[in-house]
Structure 1
């Protein structure tokens, strides 16, 4: 089986796996315990916190370890709402946000918040003028993902954040798809919170990082929580943090080389579709590792299952919505509805993806197109 679903999850990096085993065996104490064994684990945890501060271009005292992107998004949004410098009940977000953000917005709406959901333009990006027009005097929060998980477009977070800062509005950005693939140095200083998830850059599953601007005074969502300065309950998974740190450093160090690799295999993949070029629609992407596309007239789930039967693992969009059998949120946000929205499939590349691999996948998709 050839794997083309790296946007959903990556295999664990070999060096990260070694770090996990070593930390599990040698730093097994609870980092909150006051004895020496616990302190040893705490020192490793704080060392990793400092490393992520450097990788994210953010202050160390704003770094919190979580169970991943979904929990991080939920807790970051709650933290910012508790720290808002002004009164208001209006939030601006995107129509194509990850389910962890979309579902949080549904919950907040039940609590009395007014939510504005912004659509995407045909190029997969939010219109800046429309974004600016959506901001109101009672807007207290904006939550916009940095990178789209289905087609790979990157939103103009820096420009959006500048508009928000001018109006006293706090900004959260889901950076799960972009850490290790895009420059974070211009994003972190502009937003009030962001999230990343370890398994998206070859770290372990069930571990992530949330950054909260340390100048904000936020309230814990779970009363009485002591772990991670009250940000979340539960003993910190120190071995997973250590492994994630190793994977994160490697991802950042290899970012430029990997981008060139992804550009190369993406071009080879698109070229391999040329025998049936008119059957495919390929969407704009700023992340060359992600290809969002449609095969005209065929449901994405059918194409995915046909590819799986022939030895290729692809997806129909975000893994957190894969079993819902609903149209792609990105397609809907771009104004593509009905049967066409359900045609969507996603191909995503990783370090191990070769030119030969993508050509074989392309040839398989062409055969499916010609057959059906």
Structure 2
């Protein structure tokens, strides 16, 4: 099986796996325990915290570890709402946010919050002017995803962050899809909180991190929480965090090399689709590893199933919505409606992907389209 679903999850990097085993078997103490074994685990934990602070160019006092992106998004949003920077019950977010953010917003809506959900412009981005127009006196929080997981566009986080600062609005960004693919230092300086997830950049599953501006005063979401400075309850997953740190360092160091690799593969793949070019809509991407396609008249589910039978693992969008067989949130945010919104297919590239792989996938998609249209 040729794998083209790296935006859903990546294989564990071998070096990160070795780090995990070493930490789990040698530095197995609870990092909160007040003995030497616990101290050794805590030293590893704090080393990893300092590493992520360096990746973001922020204070390590603002770095907290979580069980992944979904929990990180939920806790970041809920924690920001306890800071009481200003009074109000209005939040701005995007229509194409990850389900963990949208579900959090629905929970807040049920609790009496007013939520404004912004669509995309035709270029797949939040319109900065539209965001400014959505701001109200009682707007207290905004949550805008940095990288769209389906078409690979990057949102104007710096510009939105400036509007938030001017209006006293706290700003969270889901950076799960962008960490390890682009430099996040500017983003980290533009937000009050951001979220990342280990398995999106070749680290282990079940671990992630949140940056929360240490200048803010906030209350633990779960009262009485002591782990991670009160940000998250539960014994800290030190081996997973250390392995994530190793994977993150490799991703950050290799940013330019990997990006060039993806650009070359993307170009080769799109060239292979020339025979069906007139039937395809290819979405432009800031992340070259993400390729979003619509084939007029063919549901993405059919293309995905046919590709799977031919030995290619592709997707119809974000893994958190695929099982529901609902239209792509990105297509809906772009104003694509009805059957057309279900025509979307996503292909994402990884470090292991080679030129021959994308050529074979392209040939397979050409045959699938010709056989079904």
TM-score greater than 0.5 by the shorter chain? yes
Q: Distance in 1 between matches of 2:185 and 2:192?
A: 14
Matches within 5 A, 1:236-247: 236-247=236-247
**Residue in structure 1 matched with residue 316 of structure 2 by the alignment:** 316
Where does residue 226 of structure 1 map in the other structure?
Answer: 226
User: Partner of 1:65 in structure 2?
Assistant: 65
1:180 positional shift = 1.0
Asked whether the 8 Å contact 1:95–1:118 carries over to 2, the reply is yes
Residue in 1 that maps onto 2:292? 292
- Please give the residue correspondences for 1:254-293 in structure 2 after superposition, counting only pairs within 5 Å: 254-293=254-293
- Check if 1:206 corresponds to 2:195: no
The Cα shift of 1:294 comes to 1.0
Q: Secondary structure at the match of 1:211?
A: strand
Q: Distance in 1 between matches of 2:300 and 2:84?
A: 41
Q: CA deviation at 1:84?
A: 3.1
Q: Output one character per residue of 1:42-101: Cα deviation in whole Å (capped at 9) or x when no partner.
A: 011001000010011111000000000000000000011111311000000000000000
Distance across 2 between alignment mates of 1:371 and 1:229: 58
Partner of 1:138: 138
1:129-148 CA distances to partner (integer Å, 9 max, x unpaired)? Answer: 11100001100000000000
**What residue in structure 2 maps to residue 44 of structure 1?**
44
Query: What is the SS of the residue equivalent to 1:345?
Result: strand
3-state SS, counterpart of residue 87 of structure 2: coil
**Structure 2 unpaired stretches of 5+:** none
| Corresponding position: 1:13 with 2:13 | yes
* Superposed CA offset, 1:155-208 (max 9, x none): 000000001101100000000000011121111011000000000000000000
Once residues 175 and 288 of structure 1 are traced to their aligned partners in structure 2, the CA distance between those partners, rounded to angstroms, is 16
Question: For 1:80-119, what aligned pairs fall within 5 Å after superposition?
Answer: 80-119=80-119
CA contact (8 A) 1:292 1:347 kept: yes
CA offsets per residue over residues 26-55 of structure 1, 9 Å max, x none? Answer: 110000111110111001100100001001
Secondary structure of the 2:196 match is strand
**Local SS of the residue matching 1:277:** helix
Identify the residue that residue 128 of structure 2 maps to in structure 1.
Answer: 128
Q: Distance in 2 between matches of 1:338 and 1:164?
A: 34
Secondary structure class of the residue paired with 2:292: strand
SS of residue matched to 2:92: strand
Q: How far apart, in 2, do the equivalents of 1:351 and 1:58 lie?
A: 28
CA–CA separation in structure 1 for the residues paired with 2:266 and 2:126: 24
Partner of 2:366: 366
Indicate the SS of the match to 2:124.
Answer: coil
In structure 2, distance between residues paired with 1:187 and 1:62: 15
Compute the TM-score of the two structures, normalised by the length of structure 2.
Answer: 0.99
CA distance in 2, matches of 1:56, 1:240: 19
Q: Is the 8 A contact 1:314 1:347 kept in 2?
A: yes
Q: Quote the RMSD (CA, aligned, Å).
A: 0.6
Contact 1:84/1:170 (<8 A) preserved:
no
Provide the residue aligned with 1:180 in structure 2: 180
Cα distance between partner residues in 2 of 1:41 and 1:161: 36
How many residues get paired? 372
- Partners in 2 of 1:276 and 1:200 — Cα distance? 31
Deviations 1:338-360 (A, max 9, x none): 10000111000000011110010
- The separation in 1 between residues aligned to 2:159 and 2:345, in whole angstroms, is 30
What is the TM-score with the length of structure 1 in the denominator?
A: 0.99
Q: Structure 1 CA distance, aligned partners of 2:65 and 2:355?
A: 36
- Please, which runs of 5 or more residues in structure 1 have no aligned partner? none
Q: Deviations over 1:81-123 (max 9, x none)?
A: 1113110000000000000000000000011110000000111
Secondary structure, aligned partner of 2:151: coil
For the residue of structure 2 that corresponds to 1:83, the secondary structure is coil
